[in-house]
């Protein structure tokens, strides 16, 4: 006869435990999604990111809350986007003894927001990586050619030694994103990633075709664009909602 203790640790219990482990693993894998259509795209499905993004989309969300949510989502996304940074051993003195820890090695991180909406993503990431430098890229659309043109470009001087994170809440047509990455490459950058909150398939395709070496991170891949180039369902004009100019 089996006792309660034997049932608790018997074969059936181990099978159930394995099922629970598999189930938890599947949930973890779903937090990061990659698609066959866009190999350079990573969609971050973390529950906190998706919860905050839903509030962000709501047209009733006020400017103050909208700004805080952009900041928080950017920080959570940066946690995933920095997952493959290399580390090296470092001796450290605790109050009790010497031990070996790890610290990020070699590469220097630079955040490059595309003005103006990209500014809303900077502070959240800086709280995660306070030693990062910040550059800026300003773009406008030429009325005759309809192509993006730089009106401001400022980044740290040691470009070849740096990892660059280009920041813009929206990846819509992809024109500004592709132009910003192109400007960084002309300045000598070789390691570039693009972080946005919401992307349209047209923007992802344009950026990935122009720069197939650039990894794209987003919190949502939306349906598409309307006739004015806004993402659907999207979240409206991120710049206007960030700075209260809507």
Could you report the per-residue pLDDT of 181-234, keeping only the tens digit for each?
999 999 999 999 999 999 999 999 999 999 999 999 999 999 999 988 899 999
Is 237 among the residues known to form the active site? yes
Pairing of strands 198-199, 170-171: parallel
Selected catalytic residue, list 86, 142, 145, 227: 145
Mean pLDDT across 140-145: 67
> Is pLDDT of 9 > 50?
no
- Give residue 84's pLDDT: 83
Task: Enter the pTM of the model.
Answer: 0.82
Check if 25 is active-site. no
Q: What percent of the chain has pLDDT over 90?
A: 66
Give bridge partners of residue 137 from the DSSP assignment: 114, 153
Question: Structural domains in the chain?
Answer: 30-89+101-243 (3.40.50.2020)
Active site residue 173: no
Structure token digits, residue 125: 């990431």
The string of pLDDT tens digits covering residues 30-75 is 677 778 889 999 999 999 999 999 999 999 999 999 999 999 999 9
pLDDT-based confidence at residue 146 (cuts at 50, 70, 90): low
Of 24, 141, 186, 223, the catalytic one is 141
Handedness of CA 127, 128, 132, 134 (dihedral sign): negative
- 227 catalytic, yes or no? no
Q: What is the pLDDT of residue 36?
A: 80
**pLDDT of res. 34:** 76
Mean pLDDT, the chain, rounded, equals 86
Q: Which two tokens stand for residue 39?
A: 């190999």
């Amino acid at each position: 006869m089996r006792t309660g203790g034997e049932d608790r640790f018997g074969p059936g219990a181990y099978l159930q435990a394995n099922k629970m482990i598999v189930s938890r693993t599947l949930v973890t894998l779903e937090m990061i999604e990659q698609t066959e259509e866009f190999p350079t795209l990573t969609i971050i499905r973390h529950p906190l990111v998706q919860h905050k993004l839903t509030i962000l989309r709501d047209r009733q969300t006020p400017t103050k809350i909208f700004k805080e949510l952009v900041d928080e989502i950017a920080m959570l996304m940066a946690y995933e986007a920095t997952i493959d940074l290399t580390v090296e051993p470092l001796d450290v003195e605790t109050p009790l003894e010497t031990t070996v820890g790890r610290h990020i090695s070699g590469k220097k991180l630079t955040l490059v927001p595309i003005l103006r909406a990209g500014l809303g993503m900077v502070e959240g990431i800086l709280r995660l990586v306070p030693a990062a430098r910040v550059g800026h890229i300003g773009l406008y659309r030429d009325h005759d050619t309809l192509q993006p043109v730089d009106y401001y470009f400022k980044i740290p001087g040691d470009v070849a030694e740096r990892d660059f994170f280009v920041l813009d809440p929206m990846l819509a047509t992809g024109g500004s994103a592709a132009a910003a990455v192109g400007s960084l490459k002309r300045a000598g950058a070789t390691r570039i990633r693009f972080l946005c909150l919401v992307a349209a398939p047209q923007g992802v395709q344009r950026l990935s075709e122009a720069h197939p070496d650039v990894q794209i991170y987003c919190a949502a891949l939306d349906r598409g664009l309307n006739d004015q180039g806004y993402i659907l369902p999207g979240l409206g004009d991120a710049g206007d909602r960030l700075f209260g100019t809507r």
